[in-house]
Amino acid sequence: MGYDAKFRVWRGDLDGGELHDFTVLVNEGEVVLDIIHRLQATQAPDLAVRWNCKAGKCGSCSAEVNGRPRLLCMTRMSTFGQDEVITVTPMRTFPVIKDLVTDVSFNYEKARQIPSFTPPADLKPGEYRMKQIDVERSQEFRKCIECFLCQNTCHVVRDHEENKTAFAGPRYLMRITELEMHPLDVGDRTELAQDEQGLGLCNITKCCTEVCPEHIKITDNALIPLKERVADRKYDPVVWLGNKLFRR
Ligand code: SF4
Ligand code: SF4
Ligand code: FES
């Protein structure tokens, strides 16, 4: 059975905006993105929202629902009470372009700052071999759909614009970890992580992990192991000597 829901949707641009009230039909089985589409079709044709797959796989429809960072297409209306007012706002950490669409180019800039996979010079494509356990270890990180909800949630940048130049954010520190754990990669990105990408600013609160729609254990499986590697390479004399003699 359908019912009328009360929605508050943020509308505006970089110069400012405000919450607009709507009453809109909700049908059984719908998600928040369906309701935003119905608003576009019936009441607010110029309402901007970014989406592509409607299946939780493209990472485009990230926003905040009742203050919680979420994918609009994976947030079921059945998780809210029928008389609850549902507030939809853009991700707070990134500049608004229009309505629910934010400029996420910060993330692409950070991605470009990380040196890519670097195999040994004498290994040709087709000769790469690695153990299944190493494949499985990085597989978790490769589930990332780049929705940037973790980046949006992390308190290091959420309320501190000034930290953005010095902090890659959980998604890209996780990318560094993935490359560090790769058995065929000969690069060393631990100094980069600590000195240029702000690993030390992360105080392992796990807020990023809590909002990841792919349920990646970002903090436990990427950030903490990366911190341990940085500490080992810097302060453990045996590891330090090993790295000097047998630089991987
Ligand atoms: S665990 Fe680190 S990266 Fe994740 S939200 Fe907390 S401070 Fe940010
Ligand atoms: S790690 Fe999770 S929350 Fe972060 S960008 Fe990837 S899928 Fe989104
Ligand atoms: S539309 Fe693709 S993840 Fe939501």
Average pLDDT value for residue range 133-140: 92
Shortest CA distance to 60 belongs to which of 150, 147, 171?
147
Average pLDDT value for residue range 105-129: 94
Q: What is the CA radius of gyration of the chain?
A: 21
Ligand 3 close to Cβ of residue 51 (< 6 A): yes
The mean pLDDT of the chain is: 95
31, containing H or E segment = none
Neighbouring residues of 201: CB distance < 8 A, sequence distance ≥ 6:
156, 163, 166, 167
202 alpha carbon – ligand 1 mean position (Å): 5
Q: How many angstroms from the chain centroid is the CA of residue 163?
A: 17
177, containing H or E segment = helix 170-181
Between CA 17 and CA 164 the distance in angstroms is 24
Between CA 4 and CA 188 the distance in angstroms is 56
Q: pLDDT at position 237, please?
A: 67
pTM for the full predicted model: 0.93
Q: pLDDT at position 2, please?
A: 95
Q: pLDDT at position 235, please?
A: 73
Torsion of CA 29, 33, 34, 36, to 10 degrees: 140
Name the DSSP letter for residue 176: H
Ligand 1 close to Cβ of residue 205 (< 6 A): yes
Ligand 2 probe mutation, 154, 212, 219, 220, most atoms within 8 A of CB:
212
Q: Which ligand is nearest to the CA of 206?
A: 1
Q: What is the pLDDT of residues 209-239, one digit of tens each?
A: 999 999 999 999 999 999 999 998 877 667 6
Structure token digits, residue 166? 């010095």
Supply φ then ψ for residue 22, to 5 degrees: -140, 150
Contact present, 164 and 157 (Cβ < 8 Å): yes
SS3 222: helix
Atom of ligand 1 nearest to the CA of 219: 1
Q: What is the pLDDT of residues 62-83, one digit of tens each?
A: 999 999 999 999 999 999 999 9
Ligand 3 close to Cβ of residue 52 (< 6 A): yes
Q: pLDDT at position 246, please?
A: 58
DSSP assignment of 118-149: ---TTPPTT-----HHHHHHHHTGGG-----H
